[in-house]
Amino acid sequence: MAVYDYDVIVIGSGPAGEGAAMSAAKKGRRVAVIEEQDLVGGNCTHKGTIPSKALRHSVKQIIEFNTNPMFREIGEPRWFSFPKVLTRAEKVISSQVVLRTNFYARNRVDVFFGSAEFEDNNTVLVRGTAKGDETLRARNIIIATGSRPYCPPDIDFKHPRIYNSDTILKLSHTPRTLIIYGAGVIGCEYASIFSGLGVKVDLIDNRDRLLSFLDGEISDALSYHLRNNSVKIRHNEEYEIVEGDGAGVILTLKSGKRIRADAFLWCNGRTGNTDGLGLEKIGLEANGRGQLEVDEHYRTGREGIYAAGDVMGWPSLASAALDQGRAAAADLLDAEDFRFINEVPTGIYTIPEISSIGKTEEELTRERVPYEVGQAFFKDTARAQISGEPVGMLKVLFHRETLEILGIHCFGDQASEIIHIGQAIMRQEGEANTIKYFINTTFNYPTMAEAYRVAAIAGLNRIANL
């Protein structure tokens, strides 16, 4: 059996693994990456972020074509099947794989395709590579194996009409009706995607409002627009039985309700990919959801072994995972660019999309912080009127006395892009981080960015009128 020595071994080639590997390689270390799938990119590229967002973009274009009066002069509304829309996502995935494969090649990072298992703190056995089993040794190891959908054992996911958020990408038809169980980020995104394709969706939420971590006004806006697109939202419900038959799926809820649909999509929770790693051999133990506990330097309880990305839980975002991987590599190399990732913008790709950073109104109220609100509604901005995307708003929360920006919340087209302007200002120090920045800065016109100026004026007017 071949044995190879490296400075750093990274298990997983998703965002966290890629970030760690590239960072260590650019600092002159010899790096090996182990990837269980046949291609690099991890679940983010093949099953999660990239395919779902590519799907969303295609569906959004379909909605625009079918609802924009200008296109009615060209032809009648068109219906697109889910498999047809999925072909667009597959093209994006292929492009991403080529891009990322080149990253590893250019940086002289060795990639081993196979399953990883610890032998000891510094040794990893890679099973099933093209050359058979191989052994890798390194002083430092970073676990970046990501996560997968949590699948309760009492639901038959082998049934052809029962899916999770990974297997839904293999859907070969377009159901007329769909039950989505779980109204978290993934569930809400898929509710938008399928309702945009004309599917009648029942969205089952075991809480009393959608995405309760969001600002309440933003959450309410999402609920309104999902319902406006014929999504039936059922709050405070839990499943009792999920039964599949030849015609579809019947969901029985603990409240006694029974719902039938052509297909069922489970979107309730994720599990860290730690089973099979042989953690017991190195004295590590994952929690009930397969996640590893780390300190503020991404170190596990074993010296030289780090964890980053979804495998350690919060915030389970590709953007954060990439930075966490880079940070873990920086720490093990004693580099000066280490930082703990704790200011992460939320990006939710529903239709319309949502993005936020900082405190919500509810949090500021609980903490008794004197704050004020500046709002800009997209329907009143020229750029939104021109682009035909009038739905949404930008909300800026700021301290009444210091005018410091405390939180930014955006709902509408390009929300995940718009948020970064405010994020950049929030990161500044002193007077640069106040709502006055948006008053004293000239924005291009017409742009969506000028919503910050409109919101700032509205917020300052609230103070001036007291």
Other CB atoms within 10 Å distance of the CB of residue 372: 20
Q: What is the pLDDT of residue 74?
A: 61
Beta strands, E only, 170-210: 177-181, 200-204
Distance CA 86, CA 83 (A): 5
Check residue 261 and give its pLDDT: 98
Q: Rounded to the nearest 5°, which phi and psi values hold at 340?
A: -80, 130
Cβ atoms 34, 12 nearer than 8 A: yes
Fold of the 2-149+271-332 domain: FAD/NAD(P)-binding domain (3.50.50)
How far is 252 from 14, CA to CA, in rounded Å? 37
466 residues of the chain, pLDDT tens digit each: 678 899 999 999 999 999 999 999 999 999 999 999 999 999 888 888 888 888 888 888 888 777 777 666 666 666 677 888 888 788 888 999 999 999 999 999 999 999 999 999 999 999 988 888 999 999 999 999 999 999 999 999 999 999 999 999 888 888 999 999 999 999 999 999 999 999 999 999 999 999 999 999 999 999 999 999 999 999 999 999 999 998 899 999 999 999 999 999 999 999 999 999 999 999 999 999 999 999 999 999 999 999 999 999 888 889 999 999 999 999 999 988 899 988 899 999 999 999 999 999 999 999 999 999 999 999 999 999 998 899 999 999 999 999 999 999 999 999 999 999 999 999 998 778 899 999 999 999 999 999 999 999 999 999 876 5
Helix axes 318-332, 15-26, angle to 10 degrees: 30
The amino acid at 179: I
Whether the model clears a pTM of 0.85, i.e. scores above it, the answer is: yes
Round to whole Å and give the CA distance between 419 and 241: 41
d(CA 279, CA 276): 8
* Domain positions in the chain: 2-149+271-332, 162-268, 352-464
Q: At how many degrees (to 10) do helices 185-196 and 216-228 cross?
A: 30
Structural contact between residues 272 and 289, judged by C-beta atoms closer than 8 angstroms: yes
For domain 162-268, which CATH number applies: 3.40.50.300, 3.50.50.60, 1.10.110.30, 2.60.40.420? 3.50.50.60
Do residues 192 and 63 lie in contact, with contact meaning Cβ atoms separated by under 8 Å?
no
Looking at the DSSP bridge assignments, the partners of residue 249 are 244, 261
> What dotted CATH number matches 352-464?
3.30.390.30
Fold: same for 2-149+271-332 and 162-268: yes
Residues 71-80 pLDDT 10s: 666 666 666 7
